[in-house]
Amino acid sequence: MTMTQTPDTLHRILDYANRADPYPLYAELRKTPVARQEDGSYVISTYRELTDILHNPHLSSDIRNLARPMAAADGRATPAFINLDPPEHDRMRRMAMRHFGPPHTPGLVDGMRPDLTAIVSGLIDDLADKTQIDIVDDFAYPFPVTVICHLLGVPREDEPRFHQWVNAIIDAIDYDAKTDPPEKLSNGEQARKDIHAYLGGLLEPRHGKPGDDLLSRLANEDGPDGRMTDEEIISTANLLLIAGHETTVNLITNGMLTLLRHPQHLQRLRNEPDLIVPLVEELLRYEPPVHIIPWRAAYSDIAIADTVIPKGSQIMLMLASGSRDPDRFHDPDRFDPDRRDNQHLGFGSGIHLCFGGPLARLETQIALTELVRRLDKPRLVADPPPYRPSPVLRGPIHLHVEQG
């Protein structure tokens, strides 16, 4: 049974006017778990079908497997592992993971806890005598940027340059030829070239000079899978630079917003610091930083929920909708940090599960704990706050808070 969803629902979700609260629209979307759109693409919005397809080996992340090419994607560049399939995906991800996590570097993220705490404390020290704070600009953005720059070996002072490029790239992710101005796409393309050249410039002098940052390690170390080419290193670093801060900004900001909207939990967190661990998991379910995987491709026909998605089809995965599916989560629209069995889709699932998830968790746990502990009677200035344009990486562009 293939049903064609009224195109309205998806368009309304992508429409900026609904950025502040897409959840009722997700509920509407879930009435058709696998919905064929007018343009032949498919939208999947229910938990069971999302987890099924994320573990389905016929689902491809390689743009070359789309029957109809997509405007927003840059088909010429060397793809990062997020846009590759096994076995290339597995090999590239393993090579990057060698310098970030287990089994080769198991203690890195846990060992960052003192540094993360110090960065957070420093940022909050600067907020102490301000009565008006922008959680985004004053805290949630500079914190993860500092962390990822240090990890990669990107000079922190270059942030103003790559900030612009990253914004242009993210704006172009959901480019729609029908409604968006062509500059949105061309700006994104130019930004990709600029960031590529910039990272190439950082990589070049690292050859033959072993160091602690990820760029140096990738440039010099040979593991069992060999060494990445320079193009592969650049695309990997580009991915980690963008994903390493953009998503965490949203997670921290969404977290503060959610706590300010639920003062009883904010108060509890002050009294029970251990609550932060399940609270961040609930946040990843309830207000995740990544709402949508904009496209995947059917490598071959995929049977799912009584539907067969034909080979070459474009498939959009509504992760944030899945995490609010009442067939999986009891009372899904309630923010409940004590929730058990919280197998949310906040970091996706399957082989592409978020590479930096452990770091994002730790950053957010430390950030929210300290914000709640040290801000003095924080209050929202505007609810809802203004949102960033993207429906994919969704979060407030500013979060103004009063204190004192």
β-strand partners of 46: none
Please report how close the Cβ of residue 101 comes to another protein at its closest, in angstroms: 5
β-strands 132-134, 293-298: how paired?
unpaired
Measured from the CB atom, the residue of 99 and 196 that comes closer to another protein is 99
With CB under 8 A as the contact rule, the residue among 5, 60, 307, 321 that binds another protein is 60
Say how far residue 305 (Cα) sits from the centre of its chain: 27
The site that binds another protein (CB under 8 A) totals a number of residues, namely 43
With CB under 8 A as the contact rule, the residue among 192, 217, 361, 394 that binds another protein is 361
How far apart (Å, rounded) are the C-alpha atoms in residues 208 and 175?
A: 40
370 belongs to the binding site for another protein (CB under 8 A): no
- Cis bond before residue 69 (omega within 30° of 0): no
342 belongs to the binding site for another protein (CB under 8 A): yes
Q: Which amino acid is at 250?
A: N
SS3 156: helix
357 belongs to the binding site for another protein (CB under 8 A): yes
β-strands 34-36, 314-317: how paired?
unpaired
55 belongs to the binding site for another protein (CB under 8 A): yes
Please report how close the Cβ of residue 153 comes to another protein at its closest, in angstroms: 21
Stretch that binds another protein, among 10-18, 23-31, 79-87, 148-156 (CB under 8 A): 79-87
How far apart (Å, rounded) are the C-alpha atoms in residues 64 and 266?
A: 47
Q: Are 34 and 42 in contact (CB under 8 A)?
A: yes
109 belongs to the binding site for another protein (CB under 8 A): yes
Please report how close the Cβ of residue 312 comes to another protein at its closest, in angstroms: 13
Q: Are 175 and 185 in contact (CB under 8 A)?
A: yes
- Joined tokens for residue 370: 């300290």
CA proximity to 315, closest of 9, 4, 74, 37: 37
With CB under 8 A as the contact rule, the residue among 7, 40, 75, 102 that binds another protein is 102
With CB under 8 A as the contact rule, the residue among 56, 117, 190, 403 that binds another protein is 56
With CB under 8 A as the contact rule, the residue among 27, 77, 173, 351 that binds another protein is 351
Please report how close the Cβ of residue 281 comes to another protein at its closest, in angstroms: 5
90 belongs to the binding site for another protein (CB under 8 A): yes
Stretch that binds another protein, among 227-235, 260-268, 272-280, 287-295 (CB under 8 A): 272-280
Alpha carbon distances (Å) from 204 to 198, 200, 253: 10, 6, 35
278 belongs to the binding site for another protein (CB under 8 A): yes
Is residue 234 classed exposed, middle or buried when 0-12, 13-18 and 19+ CB atoms within 10 A define those classes? buried
- Which residues lie near another protein (CB under 8 A)? 48, 52, 55-58, 60, 62, 65, 85-87, 90, 94, 101-103, 106-107, 109-110, 274, 277-278, 280-281, 299-302, 341-343, 347, 349-351, 353, 357-358, 361-362, 365
